[in-house]
Structures are given as structure tokens and as C-alpha cells.
A and B are shown apart, each in its own frame.
Chain A
Amino acid sequence: MSALSLDIPIVETERLILRGPEARDFDTLAAFFADEGRSWGFGGPKTRNEAWRWFAGNIGHWALHGYGFWTVETREGGQIIGVVGLWNPEGWPEPELGWVMFAGSEGKGYAYEAAQAARSHAYGPMGFTTMTSNIIPGNARSVALAERLGARYEREFTNVTDETEMAYRHPSPEALAKAEGAA
């Protein structure tokens, strides 16, 4: 046997569970990627085949980097409501915190709750010292969430599909700790 480490931690919040991707998540993810109106800011739309490759690629991303996208479930009812995680495939300027909520799960503060938990886990156990979020211009909902998380616009860059994308920089672990202490 050759062995790749695939240790995907479970992160829990008040209302949500962030867990590793499982085969049963795929149909929901494929439906999200097929919907251009929802997925255009997240590399979509994608065909079912392309969505599967992203899904399999995310598992490999965990194996290669030790981090990736978690599937977000509601603690009550176990509903799959989105993905949130840390992403850094080749061609990315640096690791980023990304998030997506599936249809029907917006407007409840889930994305904020999940993204905040993922960032805490990144800064804590995973040892990240800085974090960005990349947002395609026009994605006002994501900009609003990034800003609510305390991230600020930093610069533009050209992404792997030759589009202009905006990088938002999150507060450092120290700045967050200080803000928490003050609150």
C-alpha cells in the first residue's frame, strides 16, 4: 500500500457542521455548478462531468495541501447547504478563503458563520498567518460578506482564466484576537 494522508477535520459552529466531502454531496454540488446564475462567481457554470472533476479535485486538494473545501451541513436536519474552505491550486496567487451557499440557504447568515469558522480553523490549528478571498467584480454578495468578515479590498489580479479578479485581505490572526478582546 502507498498511503496519502487525508485528514479532514470536522469544524462545528452553533448551527453548522463543516466536514470533508462525501460522495453523497455530489448531486447537490453538480446542481449548483449547472446553475450559471449561482455559480458564475465560483468557476461555473460547469457540466456534470466538469463538476465531478472539481469534486474529485477538491478531495485531492485536501490530500496534496492538507486543506480544501468543507461541505457545510446544518446541525439540525443535516441539510447540505454549501461549501466553504481554503483553496490554493496551482495558478492561485496565494491561499484564499472561499464560500458558496446553495439555493435556498442564503439570507440566514450561514455563509458568515461557516466562513468565520473556517478562517478561525485556518488561523488556529492550520497555522495560516494571513488570508485572502478572491472575488470576481460584480459579485456584490461576496464583497458584502468579505467586508462583514473584516476583509478589505487590496488589489486586482489576472486569474487562471484570464479574468480580472479582486483580492480582499482578511484581518491578521493578531488583529482578530485584538478585536475580539476589545468586544
Chain B
Amino acid sequence: MTGVLSIPVIETKRLILRGPEAGDYPDFKSTFTSYRARFMGGPLNPYESWMLYAAEIGHWQIRGYGMWMIHDKASDETYGMAGGWKPAMWPEPEIAWVIWPDKAGKGFALEATHAVRRFLYQQKGWTTAVSYIDPMNLDSIRLAERLGAVKDNDAQSVDGSDAVYRHPAPAKLDGSQLAHGIEMEIGHYTDPKFKPEGWAID
């Protein structure tokens, strides 16, 4: 095996998504060795964290898709990861995301995950997608719901301890009210002056 592992770049309004690179590892490690990683099999020790990061890269080689590193378009600083994930034993390909704890609440996960989902549907031919979420990970469940995913009680989970959220099919995201709503919410973050009229307060 010789050559390079090419990973497509995805751009959104505020973000640029690139494959995981060696220089991004310290940011990944900070989160995955912390309490933040409790819903993602962590906290990990430094060895486990490094091996997981290496596996994120290997995943791209094996599956042809994987997790992108989310960067700020202007400063290049990293905010987290989002992408497609399917290690052995995963019943279906998953759309997964993680945001570094100090970067949460700015809509980065929504913006990045919305973009990677569109990429996986349009460029990789996915016809459906799930997210496996710890039932106690309320932030992630809320994000899945904002992305239009719905709990799928019939789908097989990874190990019985996780809930399966089914994403809307590609056609459901094509010019739909749901897609418009997601774009509008992202717009709310990208333009802080934007305040939609009649926004629910409660």
C-alpha cells in the first residue's frame, strides 16, 4: 500500500472540515481523556486516546468515510469532530459528532453534522443513517432531534445500552420544511443579529 489517504474537505459558513491530522491530536486528547468523554467510552487514558485517534484515521482507509475534524474557517482552531462511523459490530453506519466542552453552545455541532450528513447522503450514497446515543447524553439527543432524527425503537442498538436515533432520509431533507428549519437555526448562530420574529420564548 503506497501513496496518500485523501479525505474530502467540506466547507460551511463558519467551518471547514478536514481529515484528522497529527497536529490536531492534542485537542482530541484533551476531550477524550476528560469527563466529557463519558458517553463515548471514556474517559480514556493517553494510550487509549492516541489509539482511538489513530483508528479514526484508519477508519477512513478501511471504509472510505470517517470522522472529519471541525475547524474554524478563519482561525483554523478545532471545535470537535463529526462524520460517519462504523467500526466492527456497529449494526449500521452512524452519523457521529463530538464538540470540545469549551466550544459547546455555539451551534458548531449542528452546522458540521448537517453538512456531513448531506455529504454522506449525496456523495457517498447513504440512503439512511442512525446515531447511537447514550440515553443520558441529553445534549446529543437534543442535537439529534434538532437534526430531525427520531428515536427508532425497532432498530438494533450497538450493545443494548444505547438509544438509536434514525435520521430523516435524503429526500426528506431536500427543500423540506425540516431542512429550512435547520438552515434557519444555523443562520441564527452565524448571524448573531438575526432574531426571527415570533420565536417561541418558552
Contacts and interface: CB of A to CB of B under 8 A. Distances in A.
Contacts of A2: 6-9, 18-19, 21
Interface residues of A, number: 37
Interface residues of B, number: 35
B87 A89 contact: no
A64 interface: yes
Interface in B4-51: 4-9, 18-19, 21-22, 25, 29, 45-51
A56 interface: yes
B113 to A, nearest CB: 19
Nearest to B25: A64
A51 interface: yes
Interface stretch (A4-12, A74-82, A94-102, A104-112): A4-12
B5 A51 contact: no
A54 B89 contact: no
Given A4-B5, A59-B58, A49 B50 contact: no
Interface string A108-143: 000000000000000000000000000000000000
A30 interface: yes
Contacts of B25: 64
Contacts of B47: 89-92, 160
A89 B5 contact: no
A47 B89 CA distance: 10
Contacts of A23: 62
A59 B62 contact: yes
Interface in B103-139: none
B59 to A, nearest CB: 5
Contacts of A1: 6-9
Main secondary structure on chain B at its contact with chain A? helix
A63 B62 CA distance: 13
Contacts of B5: 3-6, 63
B58 A56 contact: yes
Interface in A37-69: 47-49, 51-61, 63-64
A125 to B, nearest CB: 13
Please provide the 8 A-B residue pairs with the shortest distance between their CB atoms, ordered closest to farther.
A60-B54, A56-B58, A59-B58, A52-B88, A20-B1, A60-B57, A90-B50, A91-B47
Given A1-B6, A2-B8, A3-B19, 11 more contacts: A3-B4, A5-B4, A47-B89, A55-B58, A56-B55, A57-B52, A59-B57, A60-B57, A90-B47, A91-B46, A160-B46
A152 interface: no
